[in-house]
């Protein structure tokens, strides 16, 4: 099986080729970050138009890198949601047209399932069952993953996602979009404990989280500062923010380990690229004699490889007749 994965849910166009025997053969990514930076965030219409421009070219690029042609592709996996409607449409239109033309199945992949299964591209790959902490721009969830396709939501944020908190904090600190990497780098220059921020719901006896209060404490600190542009102040505030957020995520993950007695953990989604979070969670899990897995660094944020990985897992779990029905669906709906 040779599966083409296509991602176009937000501001990254990704394509990748994965084989059932050889694993990930090639992947290519175009990020729209520079285009959206001037606006401080993603502009949906610009995003859709750019995906339309890139998606076929990226598909050709991965085929060339892998030394394959379109006729070698046996199935296509495409992000079907959640995401920006127009952006998703761009990837889906190409995937469905290509699938129809080639007479091959097209599977829709849930974006978060893609993030989760990106960890299976790590070496060594995690074995089921495991606990998952999904931390992206739009979601923050703790899941029990029993097997492929069997996910139990154990807890999630009641308001802002962790990535959103990073991005909003970046805006308040005058840092460029996307905020995560910039806030993280500034935090490295700050002094731990110089500014202590709220750790919302850290002691709540469950796995629910809340990050909007943390953002408000950043806003209050900036508003009350004598000189909000002072370098040391900005660095200390970034440090206070990262430490508070990491503390909450670590506490909730430890609680989840105790509740489920699962100590194999996958951390995925854009914020799993965060070094401070990786270090802290690794410490916590290893202290409990567990194992922690992250997707390869470049596959933490949105990409086509994670969609191809989730797609191939789905296709492998289907019968030949079910795969054939997907081909018919392209023609007859
Ligand atoms: O998973 P992702 O690429 O897109 C969504 O599905 O949302 O996550 C994007 C989020 C953004 O909020 C971005 O600021 C955050 O991931 N992010 C980071 C880092 N790299 C990306 N946050 C903290 N540290 C990073 N190094
Ligand atoms: Zn994502």
Q: Same structural domain for residues 151 and 254?
A: yes
| Smallest CA separation from ligand 1 atom 10, residue | 137
Given pLDDT bands bounded at 50, 70 and 90, which one contains residue 333? confident
| pLDDT at residue 178 in the model | 86
Rounded mean pLDDT, 61-81? 98
Q: Same structural domain for residues 67 and 140?
A: no
Residues with CB under 5 A from ligand 2 (ion): 136, 302
Q: Same structural domain for residues 81 and 32?
A: yes
Rounded mean pLDDT, 263-285? 98
| pLDDT at residue 22 in the model | 96
DSSP letters spanning 218-256: HHHHHHH-S-TT-HHHHHHHHHHHHHHHHHHHHHHHHHH
Q: Same structural domain for residues 16 and 153?
A: no
Q: In this structure, is residue 122 part of a structural domain? A: no
CA of 332 to the centre of ligand 2 (A): 31
Tokens coding 223: 């508003």
Q: In this structure, is residue 172 part of a structural domain? A: yes
**Dihedral of CA 87/93/96/99: which sign?**
negative
Rounded mean pLDDT, 259-270? 98
CA of 40 to the centre of ligand 2 (A): 18
Q: What are phi and psi of 122, to 5 degrees?
A: -80, 160
| pLDDT at residue 290 in the model | 98
Q: In this structure, is residue 199 part of a structural domain? A: yes
Q: Same structural domain for residues 251 and 313?
A: no
CB 84 within 8 A of CB 42: yes
| pLDDT at residue 228 in the model | 94
Q: In this structure, is residue 141 part of a structural domain? A: yes
- For the CA of 111, the nearest atom of ligand 1: 6
The CATH number that applies at residue 265 is: 3.30.420.40
Q: In this structure, is residue 219 part of a structural domain? A: yes
Whole-angstrom distance, CA of residue 278 vs CA of residue 295: 11
Could you write out the three-class secondary structure of 134-179? Answer: EECCCCEEEEEEEECCEEEEEEEECCCCHHHHHHHHHHHCCCCCCH
Q: Same structural domain for residues 94 and 149?
A: no
169-213 residue pLDDT tens:
999 999 998 899 999 999 999 999 999 999 999 999 999 999 999
CA of 117 to the centre of ligand 2 (A): 12
Q: Same structural domain for residues 178 and 72?
A: no
CA of 135 to the centre of ligand 1 (A): 8
Q: Same structural domain for residues 217 and 283?
A: yes
CA of 179 to the centre of ligand 1 (A): 8
Residues 6+ apart with CB under 8 A from 237: 173, 190, 195, 218, 221, 222
Give the mutation target among 9, 163, 172 for probing the ligand 1 site: most ligand atoms within 8 A of CB. Answer: 163
Q: What is the dihedral of CA 95, 97, 98, 100, to 10 degrees?
A: 120
Q: Which ligand lies nearest to the CA atom of residue 135 in the structure?
A: 1
| pLDDT at residue 322 in the model | 97
Q: Same structural domain for residues 170 and 24?
A: no
Rounded mean pLDDT, 26-39? 95
- Is the per-residue pLDDT at 25 higher than 90? yes
| Smallest CA separation from ligand 1 atom 12, residue | 163
| Smallest CA separation from ligand 1 atom 21, residue | 270
Q: In this structure, is residue 191 part of a structural domain? A: yes
- For the CA of 170, the nearest atom of ligand 1: 14
Residues with CB under 6 A from ligand 1: 10, 115, 136-138, 163, 166-167, 178-181, 184, 269-271, 273-274, 301-302
Q: In this structure, is residue 308 part of a structural domain? A: yes
Mean pLDDT over each residue of the chain, to the nearest integer:
97
- Binding-site residues for Fe cation, in ranges, read 111, 115, 302
Q: Same structural domain for residues 23 and 76?
A: yes
Q: In total, how many domains does the chain have?
A: 2
- For the CA of 139, the nearest atom of ligand 1: 7
Q: In this structure, is residue 239 part of a structural domain? A: yes
Q: By C-alpha distance, which of 274, 287, 272, 281 is closest to 250?
A: 281
| Domain interval for residue 325 | 2-117+301-332
35-67 residue pLDDT tens:
999 898 899 999 999 999 999 999 999 999 999
Q: Same structural domain for residues 249 and 139?
A: yes
Q: Same structural domain for residues 96 and 147?
A: no
């Amino acid at each position: 099986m040779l599966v083409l994965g296509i991602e176009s849910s937000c501001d990254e166009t990704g394509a990748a080729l994965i084989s059932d025997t050889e694993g990930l053969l090639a992947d290519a990514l175009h990020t729209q970050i520079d285009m959206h930076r001037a606006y401080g965030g993603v502009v949906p219409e610009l995003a859709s138009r750019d995906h339309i421009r890139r998606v076929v070219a990226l598909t050709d690029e991965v085929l060339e890198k892998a030394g394959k042609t379109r006729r070698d592709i046996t199935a296509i996996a495409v992000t079907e949601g959640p995401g920006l409607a127009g952006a998703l449409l761009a990837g889906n239109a190409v995937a469905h047209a290509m699938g129809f033309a080639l007479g091959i199945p097209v599977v829709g992949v849930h974006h978060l399932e893609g993030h989760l299964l990106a960890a299976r591209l790590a070496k060594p790959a995690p074995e089921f069952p495991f606990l998952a902490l999904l931390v992206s721009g739009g979601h923050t969830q703790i899941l029990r993953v029993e097997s492929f396709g069997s996910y139990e939501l154990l807890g999630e944020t009641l308001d802002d996602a962790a990535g959103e908190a990073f991005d909003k904090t970046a805006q308040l600190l005058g840092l460029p979009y996307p905020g995560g990497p910039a806030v993280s780098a500034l935090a490295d220059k700050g002094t731990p404990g110089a500014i202590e921020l709220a750790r919302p719901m850290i002691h709540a006896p469950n796995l629910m989280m809340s990050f909007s209060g943390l953002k408000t404490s950043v806003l209050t600190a900036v508003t009350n500062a004598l000189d909000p542009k002072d370098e040391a102040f900005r660095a200390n505030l970034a440090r206070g923010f990262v430490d508070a957020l990491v503390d909450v995520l670590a506490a909730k993950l430890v609680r989840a380990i105790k509740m489920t007695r699962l100590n194999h953990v996958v951390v995925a989604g854009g914020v799993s690229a965060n070094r401070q979070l990786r270090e802290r969670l690794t410490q916590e899990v290893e202290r409990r004699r567990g194992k922690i897995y992250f997707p390869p660094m470049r596959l933490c944020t949105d990409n086509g490889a994670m969609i191809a990985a989730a797609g191939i897992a789905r296709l492998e779990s289907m019968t030949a007749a079910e795969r054939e029905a997907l081909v018919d669906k392209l023609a007859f709906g």
